[in-house]
Homo-oligomer: A and B are copies of this chain.
C-alpha cells in the first residue's frame, strides 16, 4: 500500500521551510505542497482567535490541493490551533510542538527544560502543558525572544549584536540550570550555533523541525500513506504557494532548501472560507 498524494506543509511565512527541508532530507520520496502566509506574517504577536481563523482558511486551501496529510510547520499555529482543528478534519495532521516536547522529555537528565519562542507561543503555555502531560515532574522555563526572527531575516546569523541580544534573552534560562533547550520557533534553528555557544556545551538543543519530520515519517508508515520510491535521478514535484511576495520568498527559500525553487504562486488566502 502506498499513497503518492502530496503532504501539505504550512507556516506564517518562510520559517516553516526549515521543517520542509527536514522532510525532504528524511522522507525524500514525498512531494510537498507548501503554503507561507507572507501577507499576514508574523503570527507570533497575534491572538488565538485570529490565528485559528487563518489556520482554518489555510487547511481549506490545502485540501483543494488533494493533500494526504498536513504539517503545521509553525510553533505559534501549532500551539494555538492544532488541538482544535484536528477534531474538525478528516486528514492526519501534526504540529511541531508535540514532537519537540516529546524529544525534550527524552533528552533531559535533570528534568529542567527551557523553551524559547515567540510571545504567542510562550503565552499559550502549550509546551509546558504538553511536557507536563507526558511527565508531570518536569520543570519548564519559557522565554520569548521577539528580536530573533527579524535578526534572522536581516541575515545577522553570526553577529555580535545578535550574540548580545541572545545573552540577554537567555540569561534567565542559564541561571535556572536547564540541561535541555527547545528551539520553539522555526527560524531559531538558523541561530543554532550562536545559541549553543551562549548556553554552553552542557545544554542540549532540541530542534522541533527535525523531530517533526521523524514523527511524520513514522505516522505515514503506520497509516500506509508513504509514497512509492522515486526513480533514481528524479526528485519529487514540490509546489510552493504564498499569500504575498513570491520573489522575496523564493530568495529566502533558495538560501535554505537543498535545491532552487521557481514559480511560487501567490493566492488570495482570505478567499478560502474557514
Query: CB within 8 Å of B: which residues of A?
Result: 38-41, 45-47, 49-50, 146-147, 150-151, 153-154, 161, 164-165, 243-245, 248, 270
Check A154–B161 contact: CB distance below 8 A. no
Partner of A147, one of B41, B46, B150, B245: B150
Q: Which residues of B contact A165 (CB under 8 A)?
A: 161
The answer to whether A50 and B154 touch (CB under 8 A), given A161-B161, A161-B164, A165-B161, is no
* A119 to chain B: closest residue by CB: B248
CA A46 to CA B150, docked complex, whole Å: 15
The docked-state distance in angstroms from the alpha carbon of A164 to that of B165 is 12
For this chain, the copies found in one complex come to: 2
Known: A40-B40, A165-B161. A45 touches B245 (CB 8 A): yes
Choose among B40, B150, B164, B248 the residue that contacts A150 (Cβ–Cβ < 8 A).
Answer: B150
Is A153 within 8 A of B161, CB to CB?
no
CA distance A248 to B151 in the complex (A): 23
Query: Considering the chains assembled together, what is the distance between the CA atoms of A147 and B151 in angstroms?
Result: 7
Chain B residues positioned under 8 Å from A50 (CB to CB): 39, 243-245
**What residues of B have a CB within 8 angstroms of the CB of A154 in the complex?**
146-147
Q: In the complex where A46-B244, A47-B244, A244-B46 touch, is A153 in contact with B146 (Cβ < 8 A)?
A: yes
Whether B46 and A245, one on each chain, are in contact in the complex, defined by CB atoms closer than 8 angstroms, is yes
Complex CA distance for A230 and B84, rounded to whole angstroms: 50
CB neighbours (8 Å) of A245 from chain B are 45-47, 50
